[in-house]
Copies of this chain bind each other. A is one copy, B any other.
């Protein structure tokens, strides 16, 4: 049940429509809690029905409307309650490590592809997360600015500090995953020294057929 709290947290910065919430979601809470926009709209309705948000119907052009949501007092209370809540640790659900435990049944190239993709994925994420840290520290994004504006100045440093702390956690995880994948690639070299199907990446090559015929 964290989706609703992610939304409450997001909207606590400023009122939003479902559409803008979806945009901002991707670029903030979405880093720690993924959700597609198709999940957001119904959840916003539910939050409204539960009295945690109120909606403001705004005219848009001549024939269209949009609903702008904002936190109610109950919504803010629920958000604060949830933030302070101590809940059960997350369940382990780690496909990559589950699979890695059985890599003896895979070809060297399949293992290599997976570990490289794993490392590459986290390298990308790392870039994004590190960029986020800088944006937050410089208080440059509109949303952070809006959030800070709604809170007394002495709190600003702390608000920023906790957000940076959360992102540093993601960065730490990314680095760990990259290292782990690289260790795996090394292990692969050690276990299957003969099986080097690496290709020098110097232009397009036709391959995959030759091996079957040369054997």
Contact = CB atoms under 8 A, between A and B. Distances in A.
A206 interface: no
A100 B173 contact: no
A109 B159 CA distance: 17
Nearest to A170: B97
A76 to B, nearest CB: 9
Report the interface size class on chain A: 35 or more
Contact of A105 (B79, B104, B176): B79
A2 interface: yes
Contact of A32 (B30, B31, B97, B113): B97
Interface in A56-113: 79-80, 82-84, 86-87, 89-107, 110, 113
Contacts of A191: 157-158, 161
A171 to B, nearest CB: 10
Given A89-B121, A104-B155, A180-B169, A29 B95 contact: no
Given A9-B98, A80-B105, A101-B167, 12 more contacts: A6-B98, A32-B93, A33-B93, A83-B102, A83-B103, A83-B105, A89-B117, A100-B169, A104-B159, A104-B162, A157-B191, A172-B179
